[in-house]
Amino acid sequence: MICQRCQQFAASTPEGLCSLCVNAPAPAPAPTPAGTMTPPHGPAWLRSPVGLGKAAAVLLGVVVATDLFAVWADITMYDVTGSLADGEVGDAVQRRADHADSLYSAAGIAQSTALLATIVVYLIWFHRVRINAEVFNPFGHSKGRGWTGWGWFVPVVNLWFPRRIMLDIWDASSPLGRARHGLVDAWWTLWVIALLANRAGFMAYRKAETAGEIQHATGQVMLADVIHIAAAVLAILVVLRLTRMQNEKAHQGPVPVGV
């Protein structure tokens, strides 16, 4: 439960107050480097990220499942287009081709639906943990709050802004004020590679006309799907670890604010 007075730290008394508010008439705001009492990114308050974190992790798991389905569809398409490229004809190969087309379409719909739902919940979680991180350290964030959303969609900027925001949140949420970035860096590297690979596969598939070209494009799409699975698995680990760090830090009570 959050303190009923300051709405920032975990309550530690039967009255619903944190340890700071028990001994003071009002929560003591953290001074800024310039001496002003106004947080640089606006008012911030703690809210539990646990529910949203679990929901985001589950939906990312669904993304992994749809990607695995897509890989199966890729393999099926790759196999039948290889047969067509080798000159096979007849009803049997045509039925295989129709089945591959159906699988490919179903996989695309499943992936798009799962990804859209995941994006919505993930961005809400991302915004939540960013505001929580401002409570832990108001001055450790180089990007404005608005970039927690727009940073994922603005071209070029989306290649590094989300990572920078995540690292700022990660450091602010760490019990020691700064944590190792290996997990975040691994996740972000694979995410960017997956984006580029998916783009290349999509363009190749759209331009493909012959069976051989379709088979080659399908191979590229398959590679992108495999990389996307790895990136999604690491994203789950990032979400769960950051959620746990914030939950634990909130329950530690008031801590010195890093500048």
Q: Once rounded to an integer, what is the mean pLDDT over residues 174-182?
A: 81
Give residue-wise pLDDT tens across range 71-126. Answer: 999 999 999 999 998 888 888 999 999 999 999 999 999 999 999 999 999 999 99
124-144: burial string, b at 16+ Cβ within 10 Å, e else: ebbebbbbbbbbbbbbbbebe
Residue type, 174: S
Sorting pLDDT into bands at 50, 70 and 90, what band is 254? low
pLDDT of residue 60: 98
Q: Which of 1-10, 60-69, 205-214 has the highest mean pLDDT?
A: 60-69
pLDDT at residue 64, as a whole number: 98
Q: Average pLDDT for residues 188-200, to the nearest whole number?
A: 95
User: Which residues have C-beta within 8 Å of that of residue 10, sequence separation ≥ 6?
Assistant: 1, 2, 3, 18, 46, 250, 251, 252, 253
- Residue 99, classified by CB atoms within 10 Å of its CB into exposed (0-12), middle (13-18) or buried (19+), is middle
Instruction: Name the band, by pLDDT with cuts 50, 70 and 90, for residue 30.
Output: very low
Residue 130 banded pLDDT, cuts 50, 70, 90 = very high
The mean pLDDT value of the chain amounts to: 87
Q: Average pLDDT, stretch 220-235?
A: 97
pLDDT exceeds cutoff 90 at 176: no
